[in-house]
């Protein structure tokens, strides 16, 4: 049984005409109108669907009104049917509140009016240690699920998904059993983002006997590609996660993935911004070193037979020294990235189009493209494709691999 992958939407878009040589956007560009999502860059989307949370919409100002004006999440996200869009409340945004900010009737109307394919019942995360509070949140989530089906009544265009919340395998099984009794065909496990793989597997093993032969099961915020076969055998049919995407710019070292092998992106921050952040830095000198670093990297990337690795590394590290970002680990990571040239081993359209730029840690248009590449790599991995990995440096250990984790 294949597992479908949903990517959470966080307005991850890039300027398709961005000029990397001059660091200039497309003239007269409107970010929403003109920028592209990953599914507009790749000929085939690198995911099976998109997860759009109500809380994300509500906190994005004009985004909600723009979505309502268009009348369809498919139009808004430029993700036409038959591609699927899953909606939920975004429970992490209100987990500290006593009750969710949304009513069941409100969410049913939201999903139905805006053309969602799947809609998730109103849930409340259980991070409390007090048993009475755990029970209250579990019962609230189950009560909302029952009301959700009643309001849906088989008349809405979206498929309802009932959420199970718990704090151990037994409590999740209790929730799943009650949702099955309500006649839900699609279930989801929430609140697992902080759980270990072993804990998740224990929960899946506990609930497996309660699932019917045609039950679908979604994992919220859980991404473990190295355990995907185990999850499938335990009846998981879909999951969502943006971790590979966001590691492109949020992880300190693991920014660019080939399979499960990770490489560090090379940081070349904007000199003007750097000088504003650190008053001791001379902006003219910073701009000079910045230009040298970018030019050296771009020339090195363009020449597949380049042998001037140490020269390029020296220039890159000179600018990094000015920014105060150089450690022995930095020197090692940058040398490995430049020597092994991972961008030459990826067949995705982004790496083919922008070359070494995808490995430069600098601004949205490079960083998010790297995130799109990571997502494309993950999707291929989920579908059983293997990735050629560049050989390790002479005398070095085997390539460092990283389990994806959360």
Active-site residue list: 88, 240
Nearest residue to 10 via CA among 259, 250, 314, 302: 250
- Number of C-beta neighbours around residue 62 at 10 A: 9
Q: 3-state SS of the chain? A: CCCEEEEECCCCCECCCCECCCCECCCCCCHHHHCECHHHHCCCCCCCEEEEEHHHHHCCCHHHHHHHHHCCHHHHCCCCCCCEEEEECCHHHHCCCCCCCCCHHHHHHHHHHCCCCEEECCCCCCCCCCHHHHHHHHHHHHHHHHHHHHHHCCCCCCEEEEEECCCCHHHHHHHHHHHHHCCCCEEEECCCCCCCHHHHHHHHHHHHHHCCCCCEEEECCCCCHHHHHHHHHCCCCEEECCHHHHHHHHCCCCCEEECCEEECCEECCCHHHHHHHCCCCCHHHHHHHHHHHHHHHHHHHHCCCCCCHHHHHHHHHHHHHHHCCCCHHHHHHHHHHHHHCHHHHCCCHHHHHHHHHHHEECHHHHHHHHHHHHHHHHHHHHCCCCCCCCCCCCCCCCCCECCCCC
Strand partners, 69: none
Pair type for strands 266-267 and 186-189? unpaired
């Amino acid at each position: 049984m294949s597992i479908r992958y949903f990517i959470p939407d966080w307005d991850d878009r890039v300027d398709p005409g961005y000029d990397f040589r001059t660091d200039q956007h497309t003239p007269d560009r409107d970010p929403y109108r003109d920028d592209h999502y990953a599914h507009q860059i790749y000929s085939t989307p690198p995911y099976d669907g998109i997860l759009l949370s109500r809380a994300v919409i509500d906190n994005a100002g004009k985004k909600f009104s723009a979505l309502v004006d268009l009348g369809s999440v498919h139009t808004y996200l430029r993700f036409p049917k038959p591609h699927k869009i899953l909606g939920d409340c975004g429970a992490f945004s209100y987990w500290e509140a006593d009750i969710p900010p949304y009513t069941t009737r409100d969410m049913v109307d939201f999903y139905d009016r805006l053309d969602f394919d799947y809609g998730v019942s109103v849930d409340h995360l259980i991070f409390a240690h007090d048993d009475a509070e755990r029970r209250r949140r579990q019962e609230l989530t189950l009560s909302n699920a029952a009301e959700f089906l009643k309001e849906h009544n088989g008349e809405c265009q979206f498929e309802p998904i009932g959420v199970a919340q718990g704090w151990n395998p037994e409590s999740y099984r209790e929730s799943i059993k009650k949702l099955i009794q309500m006649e839900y065909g699609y279930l989801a496990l929430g609140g697992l983002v902080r759980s270990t793989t072993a804990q998740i597997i224990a929960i899946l093993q506990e609930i497996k006997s309660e699932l019917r032969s045609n039950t679908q099961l979604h994992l919220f915020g859980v991404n473990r590609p190295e355990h995907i076969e185990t999850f499938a055998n335990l009846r998981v049919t879909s999951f969502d996660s943006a971790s590979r995407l966001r590691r492109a710019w949020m992880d300190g070292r693991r920014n660019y993935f080939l399979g499960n092998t990770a490489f560090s992106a090379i940081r070349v921050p904007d000199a003007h911004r750097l000088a504003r952040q650190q008053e001791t830095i001379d902006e003219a000198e910073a701009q000079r070193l910045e230009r040298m670093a970018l030019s050296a990297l771009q020339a090195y990337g363009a020449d597949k037979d380049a042998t001037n690795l140490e020269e390029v590394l020296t220039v890159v590290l000179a600018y990094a020294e000015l920014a105060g970002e150089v450690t022995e680990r930095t020197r090692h990571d940058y040398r490995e990235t430049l020597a092994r040239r991972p961008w030459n081993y990826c067949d995705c359209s982004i790496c083919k189009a922008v070359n070494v730029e995808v490995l430069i840690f600098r601004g949205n248009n490079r960083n998010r493209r790297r995130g799109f590449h990571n997502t494309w790599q993950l999707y291929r991995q989920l579908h059983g494709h293997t990735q050629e990995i560049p050989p390790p440096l002479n005398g070095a250990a085997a390539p460092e691999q990283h389990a994806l984790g959360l």
